[in-house]
Structure 1
């Protein structure tokens, strides 16, 4: 493996680790802040943290004018979907562990090719097999007390559908607009929607904001700004199959973070479910070893 590609894989793995541990930050934030307020603040901070990167790549351009053209409508659409996905995920995290949330969310990797049917793409056997394995794994991970899927995990699963839809929207527009402009717009749209809902329906204790400062900074600057930058740099040089495997490790890091930081533990049945879901995620990307197109994954 060439040095550039090795560094690219390392960047993608670090991005996956940041996103995985972000589930822990989100879980901690629940103890201090309402869901919509936290999401609004972290995506606003994440969007602001991306501005230096945008200025670095386009130092002499009028960024505001550029973003009002081809990236505006796609960015708004992606932002609406991001709002739905992140809201469902944060609400679901109120009553589930970081590890469970990470593995269930990672199912978007399988859902993307399944949704491709509606775009006229052929359903591959390996995708169908991955979906079956994932369903079995999710049952083992989530079934508790006679309930096949807890309400919290159902919220997170619905969120995974929106994460998949967001990726497909971005994939559709990636050749037609500047991806960094689109990303910035979608983060600000999500932030303003979240803060608007929070203003109408949530009560925020100002004294609790300081207690959630670390989750806010982590979820905004690291999870949105830095991790996204690492993804851009990593996918520029990494092989598609390597990119897919690195991104799939996000779920493993979410479970690891929950165990190390929050002391979360799963039953043996839960660990088997996680293993099956990780197997399904990696199996679904098998075809990338034989394809040249790079995967699109934007969080």
Structure 2
């Protein structure tokens, strides 16, 4: 029963994350990628406070005592937050240069990267990956490489984000096994990601002409969707769901994020892929599925 509950949580996570590519793309019509990420993670940190109070264990005392994490959770939250901050900002900047559907499939490559990177943590790499890795590379080529054999900078950034999301999966699993509080890890990692994004905005972005407050208000709906659902709800579901599901099964379920991304891009943004890109998507998705068998 607990495994079913975990699987359903992860399936809902994939649906929310996939559709969030649309909101992330639309949000950058109003503010820059770093500002968008800083705002969404600041809101997500606030949204998660009642979640921590409700599901974070039977702590007693004042508000801080009930929210206060232990040492392992603090370490896990900071490590996961650093990795997620890098990953989410690479993805957000990449999305400003590529389509939501394509970004969804390139991001899905993290699922193949999880067992490969896990090898460095002493885990066994299965022989099926000898087929999956070249298949996914061919799919990536068809999906992203242009006629002059170049990859767009946006696609490259999204691929780099996939590497960091794979590390994030492994680090979440590592700290949960050490007894860290899942919802508190999520809470700390959002605060850390907000800080990293705000620093990026200060360095690389300018205040919008009409003022930051006006720009953020204009993009309030994409911000609310990505902060409340994609960040606050989905990342929490991921962390809690992984408690009941081993990492390989978890990544298999979350691979459906790429399918939801391309469907959402088609439904809401009118994105259309040509035949070559569709074949690339199919190869990536098949490779992702085979990697989990």
* Same fold, TM-score > 0.5, yes or no: yes
Farther off after superposition, 183-192 or 70-79: 70-79
Three-state SS of the structure 1 residue aligned to 2:206 is coil
Q: Cα deviations across residues 59-101 of structure 1 (Å, max 9, x unaligned)? A: 5342343x25222222212111111111111111111000110
Give distance in 1, aligned partners of 2:239 and 2:82.
Answer: 22
Three-state SS of the structure 2 residue aligned to 1:70 is helix
Q: Cα deviations across residues 154-191 of structure 1 (Å, max 9, x unaligned)? A: 01101111111122222221122212211211110110
Residue 27 of structure 2 contacts residue 222 of structure 2 at CA under 8 Å; is this kept in 1?
Answer: yes
Q: Cα deviations across residues 97-148 of structure 1 (Å, max 9, x unaligned)? A: 0011001111111101001221222321112211111101111101223134
Give distance in 1, aligned partners of 2:141 and 2:14.
Answer: 24
Counterpart among 222, 236, 248 of residue 215 in structure 1: 222
Q: What corresponds to 1:254 in structure 2? A: 261
Counterpart among 199, 203, 206 of residue 203 in structure 1: 206
Q: Does structure 1 residue 266 correspond to structure 2 residue 273?
A: yes
Three-state SS of the structure 2 residue aligned to 1:95 is coil
Residue 72 of structure 1 contacts residue 185 of structure 1 at CA under 8 Å; is this kept in 2?
Answer: yes
Q: Does structure 1 residue 15 correspond to structure 2 residue 17?
A: no
Give distance in 1, aligned partners of 2:22 and 2:129.
Answer: 30
Offset at residue 5 of structure 1 (A): 6.2
Three-state SS of the structure 1 residue aligned to 2:219 is helix
Give distance in 1, aligned partners of 2:275 and 2:39.
Answer: 37
Q: What corresponds to 2:196 in structure 1? A: 193
Size of the aligned set, in residue pairs, is 283
Q: Cα deviations across residues 230-268 of structure 1 (Å, max 9, x unaligned)? A: 445655666877644431110000001111101001110
Residue 140 of structure 2 contacts residue 280 of structure 2 at CA under 8 Å; is this kept in 1?
Answer: yes
Give distance in 1, aligned partners of 2:75 and 2:9.
Answer: 30
Give distance in 1, aligned partners of 2:3 and 2:271.
Answer: 35
Three-state SS of the structure 1 residue aligned to 2:88 is helix
* Cα 1:173–1:230 shift into 2, 3 Å: closer
Structure 1 unaligned residues grouped into runs of 5+? 287-299
Give distance in 2, aligned partners of 1:10 and 1:179.
Answer: 17
Task: Name the TM-score, length of structure 1 as normaliser.
Answer: 0.87
Give distance in 2, aligned partners of 1:168 and 1:241.
Answer: 10
Equivalent residues in 2 for 1:52-91, closer than 5 Å = 52-57=50-55, 58=57, 60-61=59-60, 62-65=65-68, 67=69, 69-91=71-93
Give distance in 2, aligned partners of 1:5 and 1:79.
Answer: 26
Give distance in 2, aligned partners of 1:172 and 1:232.
Answer: 11
Residue 34 of structure 1 contacts residue 204 of structure 1 at CA under 8 Å; is this kept in 2?
Answer: no
Task: Name the TM-score, length of structure 2 as normaliser.
Answer: 0.89
Residue 99 of structure 2 contacts residue 271 of structure 2 at CA under 8 Å; is this kept in 1?
Answer: yes
* Cα 1:218–1:236 shift into 2, 3 Å: same
Counterpart among 18, 23, 26 of residue 25 in structure 1: 23
Offset at residue 25 of structure 1 (A): 0.8
Residue 144 of structure 2 contacts residue 155 of structure 2 at CA under 8 Å; is this kept in 1?
Answer: yes
